[in-house]
Structure 1
Amino acid sequence: MSILNIQSGRDFGEGPLARVTSLVYRLMTIDALMILAVLPGLIPLVLLSRDAADAPLAVACLIPVGPALSAALFALRRHRGDITDLRPAAEFRRGYALNVGGVLRLWLPYLAALSVIAVDLAHVKASGVPGWWSAIIVVLAVVATLWMANALVITSLFSFRARDVARLAAYFLGATRSVALGNLCLLIVAVGVVDFASEAVLALFGVLFVGALLRSSQPMTTRVQEEFTA
């Protein structure tokens, strides 16, 4: 029997090494595209000082982040486990084109609210308001961010009107508390990375955070699909 006819029990390209290589390629490609998409805001954001007066400018630099996160969520969700499917760039571009309008309808109001919150926090001491007011503002910012995380996932993976996405995102804050808790942990880690390193480091590992967001949001996406889609 010719050695060429001996089968190892699986076809070429189906082994563990091929799967790991495919996954790494996919993650690196999506991460590179995310960085490229947020670069117009990332460069000035990194150059800004950590002064409270620059908080509104820092928030404005986050405008490109929403569509980039949405495109990454779309590209990661579209992968069905086929290691021969090496088209993450095409899926990222498709997700960006499909979702940019819907995402910005929610992302821009969220950033506007975040900017107001940042200004309020920057002037708490000067205004002489009680310290507990700062805690309330921070809680509001966290809740708004958790709502936005839900909204990003829903609008990236499903086709709903912006107002319906907003309602669903708010509904699932309470309906799937495990999702809110998981996303809160991701938020804490992200803030820690920015605080101890920089925004650039967070962007460098952004695809890992997006993957974790997609996984932690799975109970919510399952319920959306079962209860609110045909």
Structure 2
Amino acid sequence: MSDVFGARRQFGDGPLSRAAALVYTVLVVELLLLVTTAPGLVALMLLERDVSNLPLAAACALPLGPAVSAALYALHHQRPDPTDLHPARVFWRGYRANLADVLRIWVPLLLWLTVIAMNLAHLPAASVPRWWAAPLVLVGAGVTLVGVNALVIASLFSFRFRDILRLARYFLVRAPSVTLGNAGLLVAVAALTVLASEAVVVALGAVLALALLVGSRPMITAIRKEFIG
């Protein structure tokens, strides 16, 4: 009996087994991402790429925030042992637990970005100098990076909402590697959206969430060491 248990443990501890567990988890998380974002994604694909549809596009993106949060939660809590994998169960647990906090972050973020995008699109019509585009883009980038940090923190930790925002702003400067990594990831997502489509981004959603999680490790580790007693 002990030999069987030892063999099972050895199987679960090997690098190939851990890799297989990660691949399986990513695939399951991707499937659940598609399921939870499908209504908004279908509606978004039907919209024409026109400035007037920006508010509708933001509404279609509402399911994306909770889905990404649940994906981060599931990937963070994944077990390396292939004999004890339940990514779907962990995904839904994270989805339910983080839904309220994530929506408090995600909805204002979408509103801010929609307002900024609308202003950028209508600068010529408003007779506003073109150089106004630069500060608007900087504000949009800053708001987005703080929002991404807040999304990661809300997905993995239980803090008060105002503390989540404070930590998100704090680590924007405290962890420059995380900020630069998130900025690069956002640029890649924007490029994929423009050059391909939103469907391609969602199809790679679990991989992108894993990249976000890995890139945010310094912030996650610092929060665990410094802010969790």
Length-normalised TM-score, structure 2: 0.92
1:65 equivalent to 2:64? Answer: yes
- Work out the CA distance in 1 between the residues paired with 2:216 and 2:12: 31
1:127 equivalent to 2:117? Answer: no
**CA deviation vs aligned residue, 1:89-129 (integer Å, no higher than 9, x gap):** 00000000000011111111111111211211121111111
Q: How many residues align?
A: 224
Equivalences for 1:46-85 in 2 at 5 Å? 46-85=45-84
- Work out the CA distance in 2 between the residues paired with 1:15 and 1:167: 40
Equivalences for 1:1-230 in 2 at 5 Å? 11-12=10-11, 17-230=16-229
Shift of 1:76: 0.5
**CA deviation vs aligned residue, 1:158-193 (integer Å, no higher than 9, x gap):** 000111101110111011111000000000100011
Task: Please say if residues 17 and 80 of structure 2, whose CA atoms lie closer than 8 Å, have aligned partners that are also in contact.
Answer: no
Shift of 1:17: 4.8
Aligned to 2:3: none
- Work out the CA distance in 2 between the residues paired with 1:119 and 1:146: 19
Shift of 1:79: 1.5
Kindly report the root-mean-square deviation, in angstroms, between the aligned alpha carbons of the 2 structures. Answer: 1.9
Mean Cα deviation higher: 135-144 or 196-205: 135-144
Task: Please say if residues 107 and 148 of structure 1, whose CA atoms lie closer than 8 Å, have aligned partners that are also in contact.
Answer: yes
Tell me which structure has the larger Cα radius of gyration. 1
Mean Cα deviation higher: 17-26 or 44-53: 17-26
**CA distance change for structure 1 residues 19 and 80 in 2, over 3 Å: closer, same or farther?**
closer
The alignment partner of 1:125 has SS state of coil
Task: Please say if residues 21 and 85 of structure 2, whose CA atoms lie closer than 8 Å, have aligned partners that are also in contact.
Answer: yes
- Work out the CA distance in 2 between the residues paired with 1:217 and 1:68: 18
Structure 1: gaps of 5 or more residues: 1-6
Shift of 1:212: 0.6
Shift of 1:13: 6.0
Task: Please say if residues 56 and 118 of structure 1, whose CA atoms lie closer than 8 Å, have aligned partners that are also in contact.
Answer: no
Identity %: 49
Structure 2: gaps of 5 or more residues: 1-5
